[in-house]
Amino acid sequence: MTRSRAHARIALLATPALAWLGAGCEPPPVTPPVTVVDGNYNPIDGSGSDGGRDAAPPDALSDAGPDAARPDGARPDGIHQDARLDSSSDGARPDVRQDAAPPPDAGHDAGHDAGHDAGVACGTTTFTLYRPSATSVVVAGSFNGWGATPQTGGWAMASDGAGNWSATRQLEPGAWQYKFVVDGSTWILDPDNPDTISEESGNTNSVIYVWGCAGSCPAAFDWRDSVMYFAMVDRFHDSDGHSVPVSGASGPPGGYTAANGPSGQYEGGELAGVTAKIPYLADLGVTALWISAPYDNRDSASPAVNPDSDSHQYSAYHGYWPRPQNTDYADLQNPAPRPVVESRIGDEQDLRDLVNAAHTASSANGDGIKVLFDYVMNHADLESPLYAAHESWFVPPWNGTGSPPPCVTEAGQRVLCAPCDLWNDSYWGTRCAFTSYLPDFDFYQDPPRAWSVADAVWWAREYGIDGYRLDAIKHVPLVWLTELRSRLDGDILDPAGGRFYLVGETFDYDVRDTLKVFVDPATMLDGQFDFPLKKKLCEAVFTPAGRLDTFAGWSAGNDGYYGPGAIMTTWIGNHDVPRAIHFASGQIGNCTEGSYAANSWDPASFQQPGDAAAYERLAIAFAIMLTSSGIPLIYYGDEIGLAGGGDPDNRRLMPWNDAALSDAQRALRAKVRALARLRGSHPALGRGFKKTVAVDQDTWVYQVGGCGPEQIVTVAINRGDSSRSVNLPAGSYTDLIGGGDVDGGPVDLGARSFLVLGLR
Ligand SMILES: [Ca+2]
Ligand SMILES: [Ca+2]
Ligand SMILES: [Ca+2]
């Protein structure tokens, strides 16, 4: 009955190949706050993350964006009133039934799911409503900017004179939210459509899922299919057993071993070591490799940024203390003197060999492994030739005249970010120095900005890389970023996947608009590391009170939040926070915990967990990330649940002796590998959208699609500590992880386990 009254008939038709969720059909843009700085800073190495210090604005701001633009958020006569109208004054036709408990195959309802309605053009959607009393009905949704009237973009429905209203439109693949606007002002859900989405704010809208047409996702390389891996070069693989320490940097007593605790010293990993492990990465399913900055770095050991709480001395093993030559970029192609690779990790040829090995690797997607360098533009080493030659390019210390700047007491002192918490300061946020030996570039002047942009473009071109991870982007003026994007667009004519991928780091777990202000693929970043997602995913999967239903609702609003064309990088672990395995084990209960002296230097505090449960929970986090939009990031070692506290304990040398790993570690790696390798062969995972079929606190069944009906992937997750039965949509499936066949309907999921299924 419901099917014959399909409110939204969606059918098969050749859909433009570029179509994907959100393209060009977002809700009206929201003016984000103009705050451009935060506590974006790592207290240890100045890598542009603040580790433990969370100066995050209140949660309440985090979702002010798109909801405000939507009908529910804007008007008092929301859906409750509408529902009343529905059931009393006008009433739905007697033959229109809203299934209170949709059958397991609800997801395949011909009325709601393009591609399962064989024989008609896919993407063609007919909205229908029976409403004899209405004088006008308009379809308003995420596909037309929520226009309530035809004048504002809404789609007018036509009446047959007998109370049947309808409108037919062509829709791109996606999960499209909408409502009907009756008589100009009454917003109602589609009474014939059982599918709704309730957002975090409480808004509920009808939703239709347009699965796209066969062949609608071309096989060419697309960044959205990528799986990124971050290798910190010094800590990834020491291929020759040799290191070149700097004098005085702190290491563990008795010398470094993987189990012997943290080190601030160079520990011997090299570019050649990364190159030697390219086959490992390719096999793991990695298709984009981010390496720590390969540029010449500071040569002397240096104190922690806050020596009062951390007495250790650090080297620049992490690459965040660039020591540029006084390079002249008058000839952009032939700078003099030539920029230098950090000698402790290799030389120019080693770097070329690494890029070449990655690009020619036999990767899971058949496109090799793309390469991203970390680029650090906020500051330079006080002892660098560049600083010596151009001191005026940097924010000067106080000269002793006039009133002293914040937290400066005597002439000659630099304005530091931390002591007076200047991270969010409208003036000092882009001018304060992370520490006294890392003077801050003054990019409000043209010459240093031109130098820095020229330097970034030279490295990108010279080594033929595919993207940058831009460190501490909030602490440089925006004009640096827009100039870089413009130069890259002009100078790199055929980037992989149509774009030189720029991902930024803006350390904010709560306020998405703080990240969003830097995201615009045409003029700024392609995306940012998704800090809010890390927090939500960690809470949902790792904490006892976590809820997958809460996460499902939040993530539905997060997909597409950063605007058309944005590609965020999703992550569950990185080099600035304690290792993910300790969040998964429950040892760390606060999902925003960062690095500070007390959790960073005690080798006894963060042991390798022995219990398999922690590794299984971490695998579930990876299963969600790797079947969701955004480029999932694997921080080196997280694929084996490598232990470690805060920075630098979270940067232990990668263990390469497989025999020393536990069964649980190897099992985790096998799952990550299987999931990662899927993204190349199942583009819907990265390019498509999700439809939640069923969700509760511990279980979640969803479909991912957008590349044609045959390409739909079904995912079933049980985060709980006991076995659960879940209902799969009707169908015949292949287990894409474990192999074998699975039938639709009820299926048992073991504790902390998941299924990823393709249609057979
Ligand atoms: Ca070495
Ligand atoms: Ca050096
Ligand atoms: Ca700065």
pLDDT at site 638:
98
Distance CA 708, CA 122 (A): 9
Peptide bond into 337 cis (omega under 30): yes
Ion ligand 2: residues, Cβ under 5 Å: 296-297, 299
Helices (H), ranges, 639-753? 663-681, 684-687
Within-domain flag for 615: no
Q: Please give the distance, rounded to the nearest whole angstrom, from the Cα atom of residue 476 to the centre of ligand 3.
A: 5
How high is the pLDDT of residue 308?
84
| Residues forming beta bridges with residue 529, ordered by sequence position | 569
Rounded CA separation 691/705 (Å)? 8
Is 169 inside any structural domain?
A: yes
pLDDT at residue 82 is higher than 60: no
Is 602's pLDDT higher than 50?
Answer: yes
Nearest ligand to residue 321 Cα:
2
Give the pLDDT of residue 394. Answer: 98
Q: Say if CB 552 and CB 689 are below 8 A apart.
A: no
What confidence category does residue 56 fall into, taking pLDDT thresholds of 50, 70 and 90?
very low
Whether omega for the bond prior to residue 648 falls within 30 degrees of 0, making it cis, is yes
Note whether residue 184 is domain-resident: yes
pLDDT beyond 90 at 25: no
Measure 265 CA to ligand 2 centroid, in angstroms.
13
| Separation between Cα atoms, residue 542 and residue 580, nearest integer Å | 10
Give the ligand at the shortest distance from the Cα of 476: 3
Report how far residue 665's alpha carbon sits from residue 643's, in angstroms, rounded to the nearest whole number. Answer: 11
- Residue 709 belongs to a domain: yes
Q: Residue 152 pLDDT > 70, yes or no?
A: yes
* Inter-CA distances, 669 with 236, 289, 645, 679, 735, Å: 16, 17, 20, 16, 18
**Cα 460 to middle of ligand 3, angstroms:** 22
The pLDDT tens digits for 329-344 are 999 999 999 999 999 9
Domain-terminating residue out of 210, 231, 258? 210
In a domain, 601, yes or no: no
Rounded CA-CA distance 457/563 in Å is 26
Q: Residue 384: nearest ligand to its CA?
A: 2
Ranking 221-225, 385-389, 479-483, 560-564 by mean pLDDT, the lowest is 560-564
Closest to 190 in 3D by CA, of 143, 245, 127: 127
Q: Is residue 462 classed exposed, middle or buried when 0-12, 13-18 and 19+ CB atoms within 10 A define those classes?
A: middle
Is residue 37 within 8 A of residue 50, CB to CB? The reply is no
Instruction: Calculate how far, in angstroms, residue 270's C-alpha sits from the geometric centre of ligand 1.
Output: 6
For residue 634, pLDDT over 70 is answered with: yes
Is the pLDDT confidence value at 18 over 60? no
pLDDT in tens, 192-206: 999 998 877 778 999
pLDDT over 50 at 115, yes or no: no
Of 195, 210, 225, the position where a domain reaches its end is 210
Task: Residue 581: name the closest of 612, 545, 547 by CA.
Answer: 612
Q: What mean pLDDT is predicted for residues 670-681?
A: 96
State the chain's mean pLDDT as an integer. Answer: 85
Task: Yes or no: say if 363 and 284 are a contact pair by the CB < 8 Å rule.
Answer: no
Distance in angstroms (rounded) separating the CA atoms of residues 415 and 169: 58
Tell me how far the alpha carbon of residue 271 lies from the centroid of ligand 1, in angstroms: 9
Q: Where are the beta strands (DSSP E) in 204-305?
A: 204-210, 228-231, 288-291, 302-303
CATH of the domain at 199: 2.60.40.10
| Angstrom distance (rounded) from CA 205 to CA 189 | 6
Ligand nearest to the CA of 238: 1
Alpha helix locations (H) across 270-310? 271-276, 278-284
Q: What spacing in Å lies between the alpha carbon of 647 and ligand 2's midpoint?
A: 21
* Residue 751 predicted with pLDDT over 70: yes
pLDDT of residue 633: 98
Q: Would you state the pLDDT for residue 561?
A: 94
Q: What is the pLDDT of residue 93?
A: 29
- Biggest CA-to-CA distance, the chain: 88
Q: State which of 177, 210, 243 marks the end of a domain.
A: 210
CA of 335 to the centre of ligand 2 (A): 19
Report the separation in Å between the CA atom of 37 and the middle of ligand 3, taken as the mean of its atom positions: 10
Q: How far is the CA of 579 from the centre of ligand 1 (A)?
A: 24
Task: Tell how far the Cα of 268 is from the centroid of ligand 1, in angstroms.
Answer: 4
205 occurs within a structural domain: yes
How many domains does one find in the chain? 2
Nearest-angstrom CA–CA distance, 384 and 393: 13
- The pLDDT of residue 595 is 94
- Ligand 3 center to 440 CA (angstroms): 5
C-alpha of residue 381 to centroid of ligand 2, in Å: 10
Q: How far is the CA of 556 from the centre of ligand 3 (A)?
A: 35
> With 60 as the cut, is the pLDDT of residue 46 above it?
no
> Residue 724 sits in a domain of what CATH number?
2.60.40.1180
Q: Express each pLDDT in 206-218 by its tens digit.
A: 999 999 988 889 9
Match 């973009």 to its residue by tokens: 153
* 349 C-alpha to ligand 2 centroid (Å): 17
| C-alpha of residue 668 to centroid of ligand 1, in Å | 28
Distance of CA 299 from the midpoint of ligand 2 (Å): 5
Q: Tell me how far the alpha carbon of residue 244 lies from the centroid of ligand 1, in angstroms.
A: 8
Please compute Rg for the chain using Cα positions.
Answer: 27
Higher per-residue confidence, 636 vs 72: 636
Residues 693-737 have pLDDT tens digits of 999 999 999 999 999 999 999 999 999 999 999 999 999 999 999
Q: What is the pLDDT of residue 652?
A: 93
Ligand nearest to the CA of residue 270, numbered in listed order: 1
Spacing, Cα 439 to ligand 3 middle (Å): 9
Ligand nearest to the Cα of 235, by number: 1
Does some domain include residue 206?
Answer: yes
- In this predicted structure, what is the pLDDT of residue 734? 98
Q: How far is the CA of 470 from the centre of ligand 3 (A)?
A: 13
Burial readout 671-706 (b: 16 or more C-beta within 10 A, e: otherwise): bbbbbbbbbbebbbbbbbbbbbbbbeebbbbbbbbb
Alpha carbon of 291 to ligand 1 centroid (Å): 16
Q: Which ligand is nearest to the CA of 315?
A: 2
Distance of CA 191 to the CA centre of its chain: 36
Does the structure show a pLDDT above 60 at 417? yes
Of 62, 46, 52, which Cα lies nearest the Cα of 592?
A: 52
Residue 665 forms part of a structural domain:
no
Give this prediction's pTM.
0.85
341 CA from centroid of ligand 2 (Å): 8
Strand 724-735 relative to strand 753-759: parallel, antiparallel, unpaired?
antiparallel
Q: How close is the Cα of 477 to the center of ligand 3, in Å?
A: 7
Q: Which residues constitute the domain of residue 708? A: 684-759
Mean pLDDT of 141-168: 96
Å from CA of 340 to ligand 2 middle: 9
Average pLDDT over residues 441-462: 98
Closest ligand by atom to 383 CA: 2
